[in-house]
Chain A
Amino acid sequence: EAGVVQSPRYKIIEKKQPVAFWCNPISGHNTLYWYLQNLGQGPELLIRYENEEAVDDSQLPKDRFSAERLKGVDSTLKIQPAELGDSAVYLCASSLGQGTPYNEQFFGPGTRLTVL
């Protein structure tokens, strides 16, 4: 079974440009997460989806970040405009969903963003 797929793996852009990241979760996983991992830090949650609904987006900087999960499967995270401080790794994870034991999260390989 395929794991969580993310693209692109690397992205280099100039500041003030827009950028988008794509995530395809494991088939059948209802919960999808986007995490931000700064250099030398652990991941921090940006947004969590239960199917199509964003149920926790309190840490998402809504002035420049947006996300969507159409049809409750794939998800896209967008930054517009990007700032130098947005350089980081953006991780996507998925899990079966509420009510399942442990609700174990499976991670994708991440997208490393560099803003020049």
Chain B
Amino acid sequence: AQTVTQSQPEMSVQEAETVTLSCTYDTSESDYYLFWYKQPPSRQMILVIRQEAYKQQNATENRFSVNFQKAAKSFSLKISDSQLGDAAMYFCASNSNSGYALNFGKGTSLLVTP
């Protein structure tokens, strides 16, 4: 079984600044994937970034990057140069190689202020 924990219910960042969202996970699988999803008020869940557990290099997608610490089972998301459009709920999720359902955390609500 996999569990995902997000300990920050809410975060706030000023436009153009950098913010880091935290996520820890627990799994008995040896091969798994980690994801960050964004859910704006429209409810459409959008994939932001993904990380394969077997890769040591941290994933990066434009302004979004992760800090993957496998031994600590930590998977944080860093958003650089925050924009008003980044305001949303952010969910950390995991997915094992042997199963396909995503296990989500409870989410972090990100507020971006001008």
Q: Are A104 and B47 in contact (CB under 8 A)?
A: yes
A33 within 8 A of B: yes
Contacts of A26 in B (CB 8 A): none
A43 within 8 A of B: yes
Q: Please tell me which one of the listed residues B4, B33, B104, B107 contacts residue A102 in the complex, with CB atoms under 8 A apart.
A: B33
Report A9 CB to chain B, min CB distance, Å: 9
Contact-residue bracket for chain A: 20 to 34
A112 within 8 A of B: yes
Q: Are A48 and B101 in contact (CB under 8 A)?
A: yes
B54 within 8 A of A: no
B24 within 8 A of A: no
Q: Are A103 and B106 in contact (CB under 8 A)?
A: no
Binding site for A on B (CB under 8 A): 4, 33, 42-47, 50, 52, 91, 93, 95, 99-102, 104-107
Q: Are A42 and B95 in contact (CB under 8 A)?
A: no
CB-based nearest A residue for B4: A42
Q: Are A42 and B101 in contact (CB under 8 A)?
A: no
Q: Please tell me which one of the listed residues B45, B93, B101, B107 contacts residue A56 in the complex, with CB atoms under 8 A apart.
A: B101
Q: Are A95 and B91 in contact (CB under 8 A)?
A: no
**Contact A42-B43, Cβ < 8 Å, known A56-B99, A102-B50:** no
Q: What's the Cα separation between A108 and B101 when bound, in Å?
A: 16
Report B3 CB to chain A, min CB distance, Å: 11
Q: What's the Cα separation between A43 and B44 when bound, in Å?
A: 12
Q: Are A33 and B101 in contact (CB under 8 A)?
A: yes
Q: Please tell me which one of the listed residues A33, A42, A48 contacts residue B106 in the complex, with CB atoms under 8 A apart.
A: A42
